Amino acid sequence: PAFFLALGPRPTTLFAYLLVMTFGEAMWQPRFLQYAAEIAPEGRTGIYMGVAQFPWFLTKVVAPLYTGTMMDRFCPPNGPLHTETMWLIFGLIAIVSPVLLVLLKGWLGRDFKERAD
């Protein structure tokens, strides 16, 4: 959804981003956690749920390392704003995960539960 913001700093693009992000998160997150719980071997559900939450933790640690630099470069206090370019870069960063999931579909589709037993 970050690509909506690459279209320019307008209320409509912000609303489109918020709408798609909210609905996407509401559909994806519960199903993802359900999947993590289902593949967990008996007695290890908590560990699997914790590992499933690791990407959220990692995002909160890594994102501040580059967002400040991006704001300084593309949204300086004095000078031209290039918010479209900044959001395009953020969108490209965000699309890496889904592309990797598609490319690794065969590996991810294996039955982890059988291997753990």
Q: How confident is the model at residue 73 (pLDDT cuts 50, 70, 90)?
A: very high
Pairwise CA distance, residues 60 & 87, whole Å: 18
Of 65, 108, 93, which is closest to residue 1 (Cα–Cα)?
Answer: 93
- Return the percentage of the chain with pLDDT > 90, whole number: 20
Pairwise CA distance, residues 27 & 3, whole Å: 20
Pairwise CA distance, residues 70 & 85, whole Å: 10
Q: Is the pTM of this model over 0.75?
A: no
pLDDT value at position 56? 83
